Structure 1
């Protein structure tokens, strides 16, 4: 759920709760005020009735006073305490029961006890309560409607700078030379966020350029001494006066230097791939590339008597030829190097997937770490960067790289 929806939900729930509670309190307050007013009028009516009785020594008849209903009921009980209450009564002039407010108390007349009851019509007050309730409900609905519209349109306009900043952040590319675009907004918080993002992007670009320059310089500077070491080792190996133990030591040094050179090239390649610095994309026939790569690895696979079965459909991809060559090299070389003697490799290509299967260890690899840097098997002689490079190349082109172990076959699939 979006932030605006959360805000609208909380705002409407709180507003509605406050309005409903306020409406209930308001209704009972009005009801109390109206009842007090009616009780005051009933009190005046009672005074008039008592004055009438004392002056005329006669009990008034029903409806004798302002058409209010007055009843005198003879009783043996002592005078009861006066009380006011809501009731209904029958008005002969109107049909049906009518609502009213009543007073009931005791009076003594000519030695007898009477219970006096005066009922005053409250129909006008009931109608007034209904009008007030209806107006209150209409105001609540109108206020909720206005709040919803305000939150939907006005607040959305207030959030536009935030979404603008978010769009700029999503489009931000660390390798581009252009600076972060500031948005001129009048909200102080968004202006501070804008400036903070601009400063952060500037520092990130500077750090990236420094790191890129350092990596390139370090890689370049390492190549020269490695080339010198390799050249000197080539010369020493050709020396016929070398003893066997010296020759073996030089071979070890030669192998370590070659491994260091390959590691340097792999790390530099990873930096370029991760920062999308290789952009020579072409429309390539993947079927043809795989067939060419199978022919290139024919001698290596034949040395281990590995059978390669290929079922290749037609597939064209827009990709860097250099990166695609590295990807296929790593996958096929791994499938051959980690295969069994007299094993097999299956290659399937469809319009949406490339699958390479090979025999090897009888236990599955760790799918959670297999694509991490420097993760390799105990029998591997590589640097553990091959599958990391493959995974990063797939990430560049939004391909999904998967590993599975089915029927004793290590399966690597690329979903286009």
Structure 2
């Protein structure tokens, strides 16, 4: 979720709570004020009635035309002692003048008359319909809430967008930034202290990364030159020792094993250096490359090697699979997959190559499926195969990611299948 949406969501939720509490308090305040005014009126009216009753004057009609009504009757001393002298309550009463029931405010008071008698006076007057008041208040609160919410959100959005412009400019610059390539300088003028400090920190971080990147590229270049030369010298010296006729068969066998290990170390060194160069963006130049031609060329070169293990090669190049990628990396990708199909094959097996406009698949015979989740990890080999460094498929995966391709492994009909595609497709539909 974007920060802008999160701010608006939390602000809306807070406003709902605030307006709900405010509406409740507002309603209670209105009802309290209305009741207070009506109670004062009832007290005045009841006092007039009590005075007239105590003075023995003629009492007014129980319904005086003003919707105020009263009842006066004698109660026992025990009843008077059991109840408070004055109470207020709301109830529905029948209004004689209107001949209907309406909500009314009722005052009940007990006073002592002459001859030690106790009288109860019930006075009531119609009051507001509280349910109608609640609906009216609710309607206006909803209207007010919607209006204020929209205004507050619009103002908040405007303020947020205006004040967060430096952040969005910085994010845009970071999106366009590419390590090891010419980048435009960060032009993000702002008076906000935090954003100004953030701009300086990001610029310094980018400069440090550029320096480290250049140092790493220089190290890789130097390591490639310095390590390959001693390895080549060691191989040559071993080969010269192996030509010595005075060596025993046991000594010659040990030298052959050492030479084989050194060859494997040399290939591993080349693969690791190539991986580093790819990840450092040293193969950025791209051209339209047709992998069908590369497949034909290298399959012809490897036929003798395949024939040594009686491996049959079947090619079905329906359409040309052409992509924008680096020429050298395209060669590495094809040769690594073809080598992998040979190393992890069985004697007398088959290598089947198929192409289309969107993908090409290399299949080879296999006895059981590999771990599809780990097969592209560096140095993962499953069952150890002679001549394998464990970096071939990792290299292929890195090249595909850099070239906007997808590599996928699946196992079907006793065949290991590696699919290179421009977009993800099902095995059955890609070719």
TM over 0.5: yes
Alignment RMSD (CA, Å): 3.0
Partner of 1:382: 388
- What is the CA–CA distance in structure 1 between the aligned matches of 2:91 and 2:245, rounded to whole Å? 128
Q: How does 1:326-345 map to 2 (within 5 A)?
A: 326-345=332-351
Partner of 1:308: 313
Query: Displacement of 1:50 after TM fit?
Result: 2.2
Query: Displacement of 1:299 after TM fit?
Result: 0.8
Describe the shift of the 1:250–1:126 C-alpha distance in structure 2 as closer, same or farther (beyond 3 A): closer
* 8 Å CA contact retained: 1:53, 1:60: no
Q: Does 1:394 align with 2:393?
A: no
**Structure 1 unaligned blocks of 5 or more:** none
Q: TM-score, normalised by structure 1?
A: 0.87
Q: Which moved more, 1:92-101 or 1:289-298?
A: 92-101
Q: Secondary structure, in 3 states, of the residue corresponding to 1:364? A: coil
Query: Displacement of 1:396 after TM fit?
Result: 0.7
Q: How does 1:259-270 map to 2 (within 5 A)?
A: 259-270=264-275
- What is the CA–CA distance in structure 1 between the aligned matches of 2:364 and 2:4, rounded to whole Å? 52
Query: Displacement of 1:87 after TM fit?
Result: 3.3
Describe the shift of the 1:89–1:253 C-alpha distance in structure 2 as closer, same or farther (beyond 3 A): closer
Describe the shift of the 1:136–1:340 C-alpha distance in structure 2 as closer, same or farther (beyond 3 A): closer
Q: Secondary structure, in 3 states, of the residue corresponding to 1:297? A: helix
Describe the shift of the 1:247–1:72 C-alpha distance in structure 2 as closer, same or farther (beyond 3 A): closer
* 8 Å CA contact retained: 1:52, 1:60: no
- What is the CA–CA distance in structure 1 between the aligned matches of 2:269 and 2:173, rounded to whole Å? 35
Q: Does 1:85 align with 2:84?
A: no
Deviations 1:43-63 (A, max 9, x none): 111222223334452222234
Partner of 2:219: 214
Q: How does 1:5-404 map to 2 (within 5 A)?
A: 5-55=5-55, 57-64=57-64, 67-78=66-77, 79=80, 81-91=85-95, 94=98, 96-107=100-111, 114-123=119-128, 134-178=139-183, 181=186, 183-233=188-238, 235-236=240-241, 247-248=252-253, 250-314=255-319, 315-360=321-366, 362-376=367-381, 377-404=383-410
- What is the CA–CA distance in structure 2 between the aligned matches of 1:404 and 1:249, rounded to whole Å? 39
Q: Which moved more, 1:16-25 or 1:6-15?
A: 6-15
Query: Displacement of 1:126 after TM fit?
Result: 8.8
Query: Displacement of 1:113 after TM fit?
Result: 5.4
Query: Displacement of 1:391 after TM fit?
Result: 0.9
**Structure 2 unaligned blocks of 5 or more:** 423-431
Partner of 2:420: 414
- What is the CA–CA distance in structure 2 between the aligned matches of 1:254 and 1:217, rounded to whole Å? 24
Query: Displacement of 1:20 after TM fit?
Result: 0.7
- What is the CA–CA distance in structure 2 between the aligned matches of 1:86 and 1:244, rounded to whole Å? 117
Query: Displacement of 1:39 after TM fit?
Result: 1.2
Describe the shift of the 1:135–1:265 C-alpha distance in structure 2 as closer, same or farther (beyond 3 A): same
- What is the CA–CA distance in structure 1 between the aligned matches of 2:57 and 2:112, rounded to whole Å? 11
Q: Secondary structure, in 3 states, of the residue corresponding to 1:283? A: strand
Deviations 1:133-152 (A, max 9, x none): 55444332222222332344
Query: Displacement of 1:93 after TM fit?
Result: 5.2
* 8 Å CA contact retained: 1:348, 1:355: yes
Q: Secondary structure, in 3 states, of the residue corresponding to 1:21? A: helix
Q: TM-score, normalised by structure 2?
A: 0.84
- What is the CA–CA distance in structure 2 between the aligned matches of 1:34 and 1:372, rounded to whole Å? 78
Q: Secondary structure, in 3 states, of the residue corresponding to 2:200? A: helix
Query: Displacement of 1:276 after TM fit?
Result: 2.2
- What is the CA–CA distance in structure 1 between the aligned matches of 2:316 and 2:140, rounded to whole Å? 78
- The number of aligned residues is 414
Describe the shift of the 1:171–1:345 C-alpha distance in structure 2 as closer, same or farther (beyond 3 A): same
Deviations 1:65-117 (A, max 9, x none): x8352323434544463222223445555564443322222356675754322
Describe the shift of the 1:224–1:179 C-alpha distance in structure 2 as closer, same or farther (beyond 3 A): farther
Query: Displacement of 1:393 after TM fit?
Result: 0.6
Query: Displacement of 1:248 after TM fit?
Result: 4.7
Q: Which moved more, 1:215-224 or 1:125-134?
A: 125-134
